[in-house]
Amino acid sequence: MTAPTYSAERLLQILLAPQISEKSTYVADKFDQVIFKVARDATKPEVKAAVEMLFKVEVESVQISNVKGKTKRFGRFMGRRDHWKKAYVSLKPGQEIDFAAGENK
Splitting the chain (105 residues) into consecutive groups of 10 residues, what average pLDDT does each group show?
76 92 89 92 94 92 95 93 95 82 55
**Domains of the chain from N-terminus onward:** 13-91 (3.30.70.330)
Q: What region, left, alpha or beta, does residue 32 occupy, with left being phi > 0 and alpha being psi -120 to 50 degrees?
A: left
CB atoms within 10 A of CB 89: 27
Cβ atoms of residues 18 and 34 within 8 Å: yes
Of 80, 38, 86, nearest to 63 (Cα)? 86
The per-residue pLDDT for 29 is 86
pLDDT of residue 105: 46
Cα–Cα dist 91/51, whole Å: 10
Record the pTM: 0.83
